[in-house]
């Protein structure tokens, strides 16, 4: 099963809830509501299903031990997400070469197209994008993941990672720039209007 399929399966696990709603859940309820989102984020951070599952499991084990404290903060999602990011950073430093870097595969028509307006619409497999993200430095990749896979604002990312908002913006720009260099947007040439036959000028027979 490829990473693109795993991503879709992870999306099916999630039940969306706001921070106040999540804070009212007991720990099993939180896991049911957010395990899908955590798995998808972990999958991009690690690039490997087994590593992603291990990362989520360790994250939830740590969160379970501190659940009273986490739930009392009224922002359990952000707190647990921060645990996962910190663990991923630690693992990445220890096992930098654990995940192979795979170049994008040749074009194949899999039908996995992005929505209109997606500049990565010609990347036929989300697996390619996950692999491309693995080539980014850990901090840059984390910023990209939190923005585009968790929909966080600059301020929320800065709080999660304990960095400044300006650093968030610079890391995001750097990451997107590197992704664009790997998957440049390819647009077909604009069609030329059909040429009209020359119109006779006045006095021409």
54-110: pLDDT as tens digits: 999 999 999 999 998 888 877 888 889 889 988 887 776 664 443 344 344 343 443
pTM over 0.95: no
Structure tokens at 31: 């896991």
- pLDDT tens for residues 7-59? 444 444 444 444 445 555 688 989 998 899 899 888 888 877 888 899 999 99
193, part of any domain: no
The band of 180, judged by pLDDT with boundaries at 50, 70 and 90, is confident
64, part of any domain: yes
- Total number of domains constituting the chain: 1
Average pLDDT over residues 174-179: 88
191, part of any domain: no
Average pLDDT over residues 180-203: 55
In the predicted model, is pLDDT for residue 4 greater than 70?
no
* Owning domain of residue 162: 3-103+119-182
137, part of any domain: yes
Q: Where are the beta strands (DSSP E) in 130-179?
A: none
188, part of any domain: no
158, part of any domain: yes
Q: Which of 193, 167, 2, 155 is nearest to 75 (CA)?
A: 155
The reported pLDDT for the residue numbered 162 is 87
Distance from C-alpha of 137 to C-alpha of 142, rounded to nearest angstrom: 9
7, part of any domain: yes
Distance from C-alpha of 79 to C-alpha of 76, rounded to nearest angstrom: 5
The reported pLDDT for the residue numbered 96 is 47
The band of 197, judged by pLDDT with boundaries at 50, 70 and 90, is low
The reported pLDDT for the residue numbered 167 is 95
Average pLDDT over residues 157-178: 91
Query: Which string of DSSP letters, residue by residue, matches 26-58?
Result: -HHHHHHHHHHHHHHHHHHHHSSHHHHHHHHHH
65, part of any domain: yes
Specify the CATH number for the domain of residue 150: 1.20.140.160
Average pLDDT over residues 129-151: 82
Distance from C-alpha of 205 to C-alpha of 202, rounded to nearest angstrom: 9
Distance from C-alpha of 177 to C-alpha of 166, rounded to nearest angstrom: 16
């Amino acid at each position: 099963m490829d990473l693109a399929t795993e991503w879709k399966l992870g999306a099916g696990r999630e039940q969306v809830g706001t921070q106040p709603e999540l804070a009212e859940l007991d720990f099993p309820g939180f896991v049911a509501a957010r395990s899908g989102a955590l798995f998808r984020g972990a999958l991009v951070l690690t690039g490997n299903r087994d590593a992603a599952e291990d990362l989520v499991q360790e994250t939830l084990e740590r969160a379970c031990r501190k659940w009273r404290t986490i739930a009392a903060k009224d922002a359990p999602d952000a707190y647990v997400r921060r645990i996962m990011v910190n663990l991923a950073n630690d693992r990445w430093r220890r096992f930098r070469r654990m995940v192979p870097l795979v170049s994008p595969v040749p074009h194949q028509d899999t039908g996995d197209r992005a929505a209109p307006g997606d500049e990565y619409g010609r990347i036929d497999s989300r697996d390619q994008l996950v692999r491309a993200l693995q080539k980014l430095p850990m901090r840059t990749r984390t910023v990209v993941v939190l923005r585009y896979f968790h929909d966080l604002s600059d301020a929320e990312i800065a709080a999660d990672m304990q960095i400044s908002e300006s650093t968030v913006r610079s890391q995001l720009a750097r990451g997107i720039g590197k992704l664009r260099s790997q998957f440049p947007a390819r647009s077909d040439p604009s069609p030329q209007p059909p040429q009209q036959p020359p119109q006779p000028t006045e006095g021409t027979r």
